[in-house]
Copies of this chain bind each other. A is one copy, B any other.
Amino acid sequence: MDLKEKFMKRAIALAQRGKGFTAPNPSVGAVVVKNGEKIGEGWHKRYGSDHAEVVAIKDAIKNGYDVKDAELFVTLEPCNHYGKTPPCTEFILKHKIKKVYVGCKDPNPSVKGGGIDYLKSKGVYVESGILEEKCKELIEDFMIWIEQKRPYVYLKIASTLDGKIADRYGNSSWITNEKSRTWVHELRARVDAVLIGSNTLYKDNPKLTCRLKKREKKDPFATVVSQNLPSQKYSYLYLFKERPQKTIFFALSDPYKTFDFWVRKGVNVHLLKERSKNFLDLKEVLKVLYREYKCYYVLCEGGGKIANSLLEDKMVDELLLFFAPKIIGDEKAISNFRGRSDVSLKDCYTFKLKKVKTFDQDLCLVLKPER
């Protein structure tokens, strides 16, 4: 591998550690190199803290190195404007960095080209486009925030090898092993809301909390989408009883006239007008979560129908498909994706396979929709 790519790869890996904690900033990683050797590294840890370039340069200095004439590898174009922190370009110039290698340019309209042009005008050698595709992937979430004003959506589904998420009696405990389920909690620790359909709410009575002890964020919101607002008899459900303030309920209609009842309980209730085919418009749901609840990442753990609706509305950014090494062999068991009809093979949703993870005997496929 090319040396430049080697250092950029490291910067990408560092950036990924910040995923979920930097919003509304993008995840960025950086590496400082001198005489072909890495002397400092860092990543943007959370909104308001030092940007990756600054962390990496400070790290090199802390390690006892003189950063003058060093090279900087950074996954995203350095910022050139005053935000929560001063511009990184000034920090780079102040420390006399000689060469800057950039993964991809900043797509933010207020920045575009600015950082690179400014550094060049000050005599710094700048080369951009190192592992560009991978660096662009790092900011896919950021792009969705600024362009679509909605959260980045993970869709997680766990099934048997024949695509069943529960047996015909509705029992789904447990398809996957404990390691897989723990990893889902790691994911919950990085998202701002978990989204389910009402079938899952009534059947599983879930908590939707993150059961990891050590974590940086608070428990995510529990978001439920449903045709109808529930009747009062469902007050016993965990989300309504124990976490009403952290529960957001979206429905199309209120047949039991319970809107005020749930509001008094402390539940965040939204009656939507927007429909998409025969369900509520999930795009609108997501926009409300972004706008009113500052949700940057949403994890959908709903059943096969909401999964299909999200795909239908092109609202899935990353599909996490768990397979347990089991086969039930019963057509009437419940499918991981369902609800479409009269579709032929050419109407399939198609994906790019990004990664295959294993959790002991379980498999997790990380896929991105082809758009």
Residues of B within 8 A of A207 (CB): none
A328 interface residue (CB < 8 Å to B)? yes
- Answer yes or no: A336 CB below 8 A from chain B CBs: yes
A367 surroundings in chain B (CB, below 8 A): 161, 325
Q: Which of A317-354 contact B (CB under 8 A)?
A: 321, 323, 325-333, 335-345, 347-353
* Contact yes or no, B321 A161, CB < 8 A: yes
Q: Which residues of B contact A337 (CB under 8 A)?
A: 161-162, 327-329
A163-B164, A164-B163, A356-B358 are known contacts. Are A325 and B351 too (CB-CB below 8 A)?
yes
- Report the contact-size class of chain A (Cβ under 8 Å from the partner): 35 or more
A171 and B345 form a contact (CB under 8 A): yes
Tell yes or no: A111 within 8 A of B by CB: no
Q: How far is the CA of A359 from the CA of B81 in the complex (A)?
A: 46
Q: Which residues of B contact A163 (CB under 8 A)?
A: 159-164, 335-336
Q: How far is it, in angstroms, between the C-alpha of A270 and the C-alpha of B332 when the chains are bound?
A: 34
Number of copies: 2
- A365 contacts chain B at the CB level, 8 A cutoff: yes
How far is A336 from B162 in the complex, measured between Cα atoms in Å? 6
Residues in chain B near residue A175, CB distance under 8 A: 345
Query: A13 at the A/B interface (Cβ < 8 Å)?
Result: no
A348 CA to B163 CA in the complex, in Å?
A: 12
A345 in complex: contacting residue of B173, B331, B347, B350, CB < 8 Å: B173
Q: Assess A358 versus B349: contact at CB under 8 Å? Given A163-B335, A341-B330.
A: no
A139 CB to nearest chain B CB (Å):
23
Do the beta carbons of A345 and B172 come within 8 Å of each other?
A: yes
Contact B166 A345 (CB under 8 A): yes
Asked if A169 is at the interface (CB within 8 A of a chain B CB), the reply is yes
Looking across the interface, which residue of chain B has its beta carbon closest to that of A343? Answer: B330
Contact B311 A327 (CB under 8 A): yes
* Minimum CB distance partner of A370 in chain B: B325
CA distance A232 to B319 in the complex (A): 50
Verify if A167 is at the interface (C-beta below 8 Å from B).
Answer: yes
B348, A338: Cβ atoms under 8 Å?
no
Q: How far is the CA of A365 from the CA of B322 in the complex (A)?
A: 13
On whether the beta carbons of B325 and A329 are closer than 8 Å, the reply is no
The answer, yes or no, to whether A276 is at the interface (CB within 8 Å) is no
Residues of A9-53 contacting chain B, CB below 8 A: none
Q: Using a CB-CB cutoff of 8 Å, which residues 228-267 of chain A contact chain B?
A: none
Task: Kindly state the separation between the CA atoms of A323 and B167 in the bound complex, as whole angstroms.
Answer: 21
Q: Is the CB of A363 within 8 A of B353?
A: yes
Given contacts A321-B161, A353-B361, A365-B363, contact A331 B335 (CB under 8 A): yes
**Do B349 and A329 touch across chains, with their CB atoms under 8 A apart?**
yes
B348 contacts A160, C-beta separation under 8 Å? yes
| Interface residue? A209 (CB, 8 A) | no
Assembly CA distance A342 to B311 (angstroms) = 31
Expressed in whole angstroms, the minimum distance between the Cβ of A17 and any Cβ of chain B is 26
Q: Does residue A128 face the partner (Cβ distance < 8 Å to B)? A: no
Q: CA–CA, A108 to B223, complex, Å?
A: 62
Q: List 16 A-B contacts (CB under 8 A).
A: A160-B348, A161-B337, A161-B367, A162-B163, A166-B345, A167-B343, A168-B342, A325-B351, A325-B353, A326-B350, A328-B337, A328-B348, A328-B349, A329-B340, A331-B339, A351-B361
